[in-house]
Amino acid sequence: MSAATTGPAPVTVIGLGPMGRAIAATLLEAGHPVTVWNRTASRATELVAAGAAQAATPADAVAASRLTILSLTDYRAMHDILDGSTDALDGATIVNLSSDTPDVTRAAATWAAHHGASFLAGGLMVPAPMVGTEAAYVYYSGPRAVLGAHEAVLRPLGTPRYVGEDPGLAQLWYQAQLTVFLTTLAGLLQAAAMASAAGVGVGDFLPDALDTLTGIPVMLEGGHELAKRLETGVHPGDLSTVAMMGATADHIVSTSHASGIDTRLPQAIKSHYDRAIATGHRTDNWTALYEVIKPRH
């Protein structure tokens, strides 16, 4: 008597923006039967040609697989799609890889539980073309057992990084990382505008700007010392003081102004230094800015 063989589990993907399409394509490549649904049905065309089934309704899509992955602009979109199909949620597992606030995500987990669904929140940490590559990883939060039950299916999208039972935590990790990402991208654009305003070719300038970015991990030596300073609130050091860095922040505002470029980002950074100096951190290391950024209890 031969044991019954089971193939890769069926998966449903709702939301076919760049990310949802990359998720569905990666699951198809991994051999899963994939059902898709998207508000704008035409976005499924290529996936259907590649073997996906296109559900007629969100309820049909959820019913097609034990596991439904959502990839939507925000959680409002999830409610717009599924609020009229809550009967289909009973017994389903929803993994929502859409961005939203931790509080909205916690409320969604409660909503899903109320309708009999298991719910896991996730944040995919790479752009769509990198989904399924070695570099991809995904923060997950919610019941660990739910991740455990579906980890084999989810792993091809990116290495899972489980951050806790609180469903809001994956969003928090995601948004903290996106804070680094968005401010870095804004900084690059700000710097390029300054260079360009002075007649420096952006193409000549940007490679050096990227060297500055990749030099930061070296400067932070893996982040252990930085973590210690932020955790202890002690910021010794005379190599990069608040006074010195603050003077540079002031020069950047003045140069931006003289260049005719937008000054709001440099002003925001200068304000951190101004407030750190005003609260007695002039001779501390630049890490003392943390004291004016973090919440005051």
Ligand X SMILES: NC(=O)c1ccc[n+]([C@@H]2O[C@H](COP(=O)([O-])OP(=O)(O)OC[C@H]3O[C@@H](n4cnc5c(N)ncnc54)[C@H](OP(=O)(O)O)[C@@H]3O)[C@@H](O)[C@H]2O)c1
Which residues contact ligand X by CB under 6 A?
Answer: 15-20, 38-40, 43, 71-73, 77, 80-81, 97-99, 124, 127-128
Smallest gap, in angstroms, from Cβ of residue 23 to ligand X? 9
Q: Is 175 helix (H, G, I), strand (E, B) or coil?
A: helix
Strands 118-124 and 137-141: antiparallel
Residue 71 CB, nearest distance to ligand X (Å)?
5
Residue 234 near residue 155 (C-beta atoms within 8 A): no
Question: Residue 154 CB, nearest distance to ligand X (Å)?
Answer: 15
Two structure tokens written together for 108: 């969604």
Which residue number, 68 or 263, has a Cβ lying nearer to ligand X? 68
Question: 71 or 190, CB closer to ligand X?
Answer: 71
Q: How far is the CB of 58 from ligand X (least distance, A)?
A: 9
Please, what is the minimum distance in Å from the beta carbon of residue 20 to ligand X? 5
**CA-CA-CA-CA dihedral for 227, 229, 230, 235, to nearest 10:** -150
Cβ proximity to ligand X, 78 vs 276, nearer residue: 78
CA atoms within 13 A on the CB side of 266: 25
Q: How far is the CB of 193 from ligand X (least distance, A)?
A: 24
Nearer to ligand X, 77 or 194 (CB): 77
Please report how close the Cβ of residue 95 comes to ligand X at its closest, in angstroms.
12
Beta bridge partners of 91: none
Q: Using alpha carbons only, what angle is made at residue 22 by residues 159 and 35, rounded to the nearest 5 degrees?
A: 100
Shortest gap between Cβ of 25 and ligand X (angstroms)?
12
Nearer to ligand X (CB atom), residue 82 or residue 261: 82
Q: Which secondary-structure segment (H or E) carries 13? A: strand 11-14
183 is written with which tokens?
């401010």
State which residue, 155 or 275, has the beta carbon closest to ligand X: 155
CB 122: neighbour CB atoms within 10 A?
A: 30
List the structure tokens of 39: 């508000």
DSSP structural state of residue 213:
H
Cβ proximity to ligand X, 58 vs 246, nearer residue: 58
Which amino acid, residue 281?
Answer: H
- C-beta pairs of 185-189 under 8 Å, 24+ apart in sequence: 186/265, 187/265, 188/213
- CB neighbours of residue 243 within 10 Å: 14
Q: Which residue is nearest to ligand X (CB)?
A: 17
Paired residues of 13 in beta bridges: 36, 69
User: Do 106 and 168 meet the contact criterion of CB atoms below 8 Å apart?
Assistant: yes
29 vs 80, which CB is nearer to ligand X?
80
